[in-house]
Structure 1
Amino acid sequence: MKRVIATDDAPAAVGAYSQGTTTGDLVFTAGQVALTPDGDVLEDASVAEQTEQALDNVLAVLEAAGAGSDDVLKTTVFLADIDDFAEMNETYATYFRDEPPARSAVEVGALPLGAAVEIEAVACVPDADSESDPTEA
């Protein structure tokens, strides 16, 4: 059964989406850009700073679901300019030092709010409480 994840530690959804959703032991985050939890856009920030804010937002949503950076299975990084990959990657690597998750990184035509980077994640919630008893049929 789907459960919506919401936290004040990440920016509120600015459209028809949830910050995150979870089912069973999986949690899915919405794409996060360089928007502070207070709603301030870091439009003049470097790619490194935008990556840091996006990942801080992702981790806040994951923490609200009971997961952390070590539980991330897969991320997708959207870049407004693929030439920013190295700068993004340098910051990204500080968040996933040991056993990093699988990752895709792609260049896109444009990102919300003029962002240079948007990041989403899929994680496994450790010891997730099952919504239903698997022995019931």
Structure 2
Amino acid sequence: MAEKQIIATDKAPAAIGTYSQAVKVDNTVYLSGQIPLVPSTMEMISDDFAEQVVQVFENMTAVCEASGGSLADIVKLNIFLTDLSHFATVNEIMSRYFSQPYPARAAIGVKELPKASLVEMDGIMVL
């Protein structure tokens, strides 16, 4: 049976429910959803969509690094948006954090997200 390792870092928001920030199984890391909470305060960064996207990528970066990898190791990224008209902004900000080859990705419009967040992301990383 594969060994399971729970990933936790104080450089990303603490888990606020019955989940872990990430779970590593062999060389695969399953990243839980990140919303734009500032780790030190556990409060939303702001109501500004672009600032929320940046904070989510910063949170994901911290969890990837705590797992022994980086955003470049993400092979599948899921993006949840409460307003799909913001997708161009997501692409522009994502281009600051990722370079080719890009991960596989889904962008999903949802009615609402925790703490009235405008964006949430999760992913799968292979080390």
TM-score (structure 2 length as normaliser): 0.93
- Aligned AA (2:92): E
Q: Counterparts of 1:31-42 in structure 2 under 5 Å? A: 31-38=33-40, 39-42=42-45
Deviations 1:70-119 (A, max 9, x none): 11101000001111111111111211122111100010010001011001
Q: Counterparts of 1:38-49 in structure 2 under 5 Å? A: 38=40, 39-44=42-47, 46-49=48-51
- Aligned AA (1:3): Q
Give the whole-Å Cα distance in 1 for the aligned partners of 2:123 and 2:58. 12
The structure with the greater share of residues assigned to strand is 2
- Structure of higher CA gyration radius: 1
Count of aligned pairs between the two proteins: 124
Identity %: 40
Q: State the secondary structure of the residue aligned to 1:123.
A: strand
1:80 alignment counterpart: 82
Deviations 1:16-73 (A, max 9, x none): 11000010000011100110111121242x2211111001111111110101121110
Q: Counterparts of 1:5-24 in structure 2 under 5 Å? A: 5-24=7-26
For the 8 Å contact 1:43–1:115, the answer to whether it is kept is: no
1:92 alignment counterpart: 94
- Aligned AA (2:45): L
Give the whole-Å Cα distance in 1 for the aligned partners of 2:91 and 2:116. 20
Q: State the secondary structure of the residue aligned to 1:30.
A: strand
Gaps (5+ residues) in structure 1? 126-137
For the 8 Å contact 1:33–1:117, the answer to whether it is kept is: yes
TM-score (structure 1 length as normaliser): 0.87
Root-mean-square deviation (Å): 0.9
Q: State the secondary structure of the residue aligned to 2:90.
A: helix
Q: State the secondary structure of the residue aligned to 2:91.
A: helix
